[in-house]
Amino acid sequence: MKGDLFFVFVLLCLVAVFLAAGCTGNSQYNEQIQAPDDPVTYESADECIVPDATLDEKIGQMILVGFRGFTADNDSQIADDIRNGRVGGVILFDRDVALNSSERNIKSPEQVFSLNGQLKGYAENIPLFISVDQEGGKICRLKESYGFPAVPSAEYLGSMDNETVTRDAGSILADTVKDAGFNMNFAPVVDLMVNPDSPAIGKLNRSFSEDPVVVVRNAGWIIDEHQEAGIITAIKHFPGHGSAMADSHAGFTDVTDTWSEEELIPYQILIDEGIPDIVMTAHIYNRNLDPDYPATLSEKTITGVLRDRLGYDGVVITDAMDMGAISDNYGIKEALNLSINAGCDIILFANNIVYDERIAENATGLIKELVLDGEIPEERINESYERIIRLKMKYLGCE
């Protein structure tokens, strides 16, 4: 994010154009925005050949799941799912919400590293995404109490808005994730602090700022430090969760009267600079974008806004599909059908609010059924598979 005058000029022009296209104008956006450095270059995905795969294998790469256990023994369900290609990734948690228990997957650096080593070993053909939510502040699965280093919240970093401070925090986050054996961090949050009392964002100090310029700067520094360490990041929660008065973990969340297009600015600038590895969706409903479906299930929002309007062609992952906003209102088959046709590539089952040991087997079976019945075009599966594999090639290497 050192930037130079050319990049500053380009970014200022982008903001001006975006605001002119329909966002609420504000003189604060004329402040200098430093452009991020180019992402670290690993072995080019363009030099790798996307491997042929069966329909079952392609669908498996689209599933990312949570599971129970401090170990993943050879006869465990998750080991079987990985070996048999039913999942392309996993996510670890420190608490089991369904059991209201502090025992899930994480209790010490040594234990987590060993667990992740087991998981990697079961992925015989295509490397596994091994992910965690490690944002800093209150949202850390790798907690100080378990022996991991603490990092301040995004809100604190945004209030400082200092490159050295934020880069130091980003470096600690990235190194912590990497040293524990992960290759993906679901961070940073680029939601604007529209409502400080928003239960899922503002009250948890997860937003850098209400100012998109500050958000872009700090998110860019955090992402850059992760990319330097070889860690995949995911910006979230598209198209913006910062104005929500409800928590989509708990149920239906309507932002129709509080959301503004200003919340798209961080996505537009980061996408135009080619920064995001992954974009995570929000389960928020906004009838101005889609009168029928929440963002995760909305073709008008994911394909229409994120892909067509903002020009993003990378991997899109859903927020956890077992969150109340989805699971309380849609059956699993309907949710899979809508989210994939909307343009989502990876379907995340945190498997934590509710637990289904065979969620990967159930989900892959339902997706295949939807494809064979003509509800989901096979081309959509192919598109997602290629995006996922190219991201894995970029960070995890070619076969």
- pLDDT for 383-397, tens place per residue? 999 999 999 999 998
CATH number for the domain that contains residue 155: 3.20.20.300
**pLDDT above 90 for 380:** yes
Calpha distance 375→377 (Å, rounded): 6
Give me the mean pLDDT over the 162-185 stretch: 98
Q: Among residues 226, 237, 241, 249, which one is catalytic?
A: 249
Give me the mean pLDDT over the 301-311 stretch: 98
Per residue in 24-66, pLDDT (tens digit) is: 333 233 333 443 444 333 344 556 778 889 999 999 999 999 9
| Confidence class for position 250, pLDDT limits 50, 70, 90 | very low
Calpha distance 373→278 (Å, rounded): 29
Give me the mean pLDDT over the 355-359 stretch: 96
Distances (CA, A) of 252 to 174, 194, 284, 286, 396: 33, 19, 7, 11, 37
Calpha distance 328→184 (Å, rounded): 28
Per residue in 330-355, pLDDT (tens digit) is: 999 999 999 999 999 999 999 999 99
Calpha distance 36→185 (Å, rounded): 19
pTM above 0.75, yes or no: yes
Lowest mean pLDDT segment, chosen from 11-20, 167-176, 182-191, 366-375: 11-20
The answer to whether 68 and 101 have CB atoms below 8 angstroms apart is no
| Confidence class for position 246, pLDDT limits 50, 70, 90 | low
**pLDDT above 90 for 189:** yes
| Confidence class for position 268, pLDDT limits 50, 70, 90 | very high
Q: Among residues 96, 277, 319, 345, which one is catalytic?
A: 319
**pLDDT above 50 for 215:** yes
Is 237 an active-site residue? no
| pLDDT at res. 328 | 86
Number of neighbouring beta carbons within 10 Å of residue 124 = 9
| Confidence class for position 273, pLDDT limits 50, 70, 90 | very high
Calpha distance 285→282 (Å, rounded): 9
Provide the token pair at 67: 């599971």
Calpha distance 104→100 (Å, rounded): 10
| pLDDT at res. 90 | 98
**pLDDT above 50 for 128:** yes
Lowest mean pLDDT segment, chosen from 18-32, 84-98, 291-305: 18-32
**More confident position, 38 or 5:** 38
Is 226 an active-site residue? no
When divided into structural domains, the chain yields a total of: 1
Q: Is 320 left (phi over 0), alpha (psi -120 to 50) or beta?
A: beta
Domain range enclosing 341: 5-396
